[in-house]
Amino acid sequence: MRSCGIKSYVRRSGRMSDAQRQAYETLRSPYAVPFSPTFLNYEALFRSIQPLIIEIGFGMGVATAQIAQDNPQINYLGIEVHRPGIGRLLREIESRGLLNLRIIEADAVEVIQSMIPDHTVQGFHVFFPDPWPKKRHHKRRLISRPFTDLLARKLHSGGYCYLVTDWADYGEWALRELAATDHLVNPHGGFAPPKSWRPKTAFERKGLAQGHGIYEIWCEAVQ
Ligand SMILES: C[S@@+](CC[C@H](N)C(=O)[O-])C[C@H]1O[C@@H](n2cnc3c(N)ncnc32)[C@H](O)[C@@H]1O
């Protein structure tokens, strides 16, 4: 299969707290699955067949845990490479007793290419992806074709892609990339109104503190 070829992250430095390290070492086995180039068995992973939402780059996972807790009728899969955040979200899964949230520690591009069967995803959440503001780095932006083509193929009809960024230029870029993606339509024609159910994330607070605006994009899959 052709790789999408995006390296959209750098591993952020950041010390793991003792609690995060302990969670990372002891809770991966029940709540996280390793990367493997075979399709996931959703029923075995969640012990239930429910709609699946995938969050790419959950950071510290604060919004992820809250959304999963608020929606027990939906399964959530968070994909991240930042270990302190993985440790933190593992703790949240344990302490909140979340049966509907699981984690994969790996590059989301590879996970979605190799582990997610086509037309099986209800939604993708991408909150405050790394903005890669310098022109020479634009090729590292996650919301770019052909990766958006891959996302569209994984969605089932009526599924959605929900992106939020605090970088106006990335928002405009993403609108263009998503508009050029077959089988995705933007019912708002441009930026979407904010969703009241989405909790604020750490990077959103940083962006707001720097005086940035918040740009939301909502696209839906049509087959
Ligand atoms: C700017 S942070 C935003 C984190 C969080 N969503 C928030 O709003 O606070 C972007 C996150 O995406 C993760 N990320 C970027 N590309 C990724 C990829 N290809 N696979 C997995 N995680 C990725 C990074 O590790 C980082 O934690």
| Closest ligand 1 atom to 203 CA | 9
Q: Please work out whether the CB of residue 164 comes within 6 Å of at least one atom of ligand 1.
A: no
Would the CATH topology of 17-117 be identical to that of 138-148+159-223?
A: yes
Are 49 and 43 in contact by the 8 Å Cβ rule? The answer is: yes
Tell me, in angstroms, the distance from the centre of ligand 1 to residue 59's CA: 5
Q: What pTM was estimated for this model as a whole?
A: 0.97
Distance of CA 13 to the CA centre of its chain: 20
Mind listing the pLDDT tens digit of every residue in the chain (223 residues)?
Answer: 446 788 999 887 779 999 999 999 999 999 999 999 999 999 999 989 999 999 999 999 999 999 999 999 999 999 999 999 999 999 999 999 999 999 999 999 999 999 999 999 999 999 999 999 999 999 999 999 999 999 999 999 999 999 999 999 999 999 999 999 999 999 999 999 999 999 999 999 999 999 999 999 999 999 8
Closest CA to 79 of 131, 118, 115, 37: 115
Give phi and psi for 75, each to the nearest 5: -95, 145
CATH number of 17-117: 3.40.50.150
Ranges of H-type helices in the chain:
18-26, 28-31, 42-46, 62-70, 83-96, 108-115, 147-154, 168-179, 202-209
Show me where the domains of the chain are located.
17-117, 138-148+159-223
Determine the residue of 3, 13, 81, 164 to mutate for testing ligand 1's pocket, defined as the one with the most ligand atoms within 8 A of the Cβ atom: 81
Shortest-distance Cα residue to atom 4 of ligand 1: 59
Nearest-angstrom CA–CA distance, 56 and 52: 13
Residue 118 falls in the annotated catalytic set: no
3-class DSSP state of 129: coil
What pLDDT is recorded for position 1?
45
Q: In what order do the strands lie in the sheet with 184-185?
A: 32-33, 101-105, 75-80, 52-56, 121-127, 155-165, 215-221, 184-185
CATH number of 138-148+159-223: 3.40.50.150
What pLDDT is recorded for position 3?
61
